[in-house]
Amino acid sequence: MNGLVSLIGAGPGNPELLTLLGKRRLEEADVIVYDRLVNPALLSPFVAEKIDVGKMPLHHKISQYQINDMLVDLSKQGKRVVRLKAGDPYVFGRGGEEGQYLSQHQIPFEVVPGLTSAIAGLAAAGIPITHRDFASSFHVITGHRKANGEELDWENIAHQEGTIVFLMGMAQLPNIAKQLVAHGMASDTPVAVVQWATHWKQRSISSDLANVVQTVEKMHISSPALIVVGGVVKLMGDLQPHRPLQGLHFLIPFKQDSKLFNALQDEGAAVNFFDRRVKKPLAFELPDFDAGGVLIVTDFAAFHYFQERLLTLGIDNRALANWKLVASNHIVKYRLQQDGLLADGLYDPKKLDYKRPIVFIGERLALSNYNVDVAAKADYLATYQSETINQNIDLNDFHGIVFPSSASVTDLYTGCTSEERELMSKMSCFAMGQTVANECQKLGLKNVIEVKPSYDNVIQTVKKVFAR
């Protein structure tokens, strides 16, 4: 049976602008075939096989015909396939051609629309594509024509009412400005160019048709960028979003944490998670809940797997009513609190009640760090084990690193080259707790900022360090 192929629009760049259906299809996918401009941060949470078929201007690592055949072949293997495209698949994305090819080969497919940069990218730069005072229509034009294709109807374009947006047109910017003026558009017509729209490295300039080429060259604006022509450009100053961490990019070498991600994003920052450890859930026996005792949580991920097991058996946290809940450190205590559970205290082997059952919950290998008195009746409940995978990341893309745990420090550091370690040693490193800060300093990181382990403290400290 042929697998479903989903042609999905990833939106203009910000991972949070993906649609809910798009996210669900990515979660269900066996294979993701993605384009060059898809944000890596959008791909990282998903476990499917990932195939990069990105095409650079004038340089295609794989042809469109090969991509079409690949989609058909993967579907015939019974795999659920996501064809992930920047923006919207049907807005100059060749999604229509791919859909036709799939249809001709009797392959089931669907289209999941995405936000096009022609609209969302402008909004991110403070430009509404329509406005009652300036434009009651808009026109989206590709600047990248087919080889030997017909020339654009510049006479018609230059006399259109409303906003004109050119996508994939940076190489043609001098000709675009020249042709519009030559065919009757005023040379002082406002123009804006928005590079990397909705990304952390978004940049934009405003000018007019007479000067836009020189302005772009002076400011070193290049592809990927969109060009917008019309009166709505005048609104950039009034509608430009301003947030404290706008334009900053942070790395969190840890598993995906939506609360920390949201907290930083809401302040304008972009966030990438990077975890070299893949977690493999393990089978384990549950303790005797009626007996009561002390449950020591050594890391929150382990407790999460523990909770999942309870739920599969129709049990919830009320089963722990007879147990004392102890956190191994302040970070775990805080995460439990965020999950609605108040720890009875922090782990201290000298204060344990050895007359009651003691159960440690944690990662398989890490549990060996928690040895109690040999006379104590202690059980070690390993709910998962970690496996390290080879994965690289360019630290030059980041302004700072947030370390939630000591393991996140060592995982990132040990996987870096000597050059990357040198760069890492100079970066602003925000360590959540004293233990994490000590690990950073032990490895020679010089710019370590210790933060009390709460999301609010992280945000306030980051804002203070990067105050502008």
**Residues with a known catalytic role:** 35, 55, 168
Angle at alpha carbon of residue 200, lines to 163 and 242, rounded to 5°: 70
Q: How far apart are CA 60 and CA 35, in angstroms?
A: 11
Contact between residue 336 and residue 325 where contact means Cβ atoms under 8 Å apart? yes
Sign of CA dihedral 129, 134, 138, 142: negative
Give me 353's structure tokens: 């009640």
Is residue 212 classed exposed, middle or buried when 0-12, 13-18 and 19+ CB atoms within 10 A define those classes? buried
In the chain, % helix, strand, coil (3-state, to 5) comes to 35, 25, 40
Which run of H or of E encompasses 305?
helix 300-312
Token pair for residue 396? 């030059």
Which residue do the tokens 């992930």 mark? 84
- Rounded CA separation 468/465 (Å): 9
| Sign of the dihedral defined by the CA atoms of residues 286, 290, 293, 295, in that order | positive
Residue 249 and residue 15 in contact, taking contact as beta carbons nearer than 8 Å: no
- Kindly give the interhelix angle for 64-76 and 95-104, rounded to the nearest 10 degrees: 50
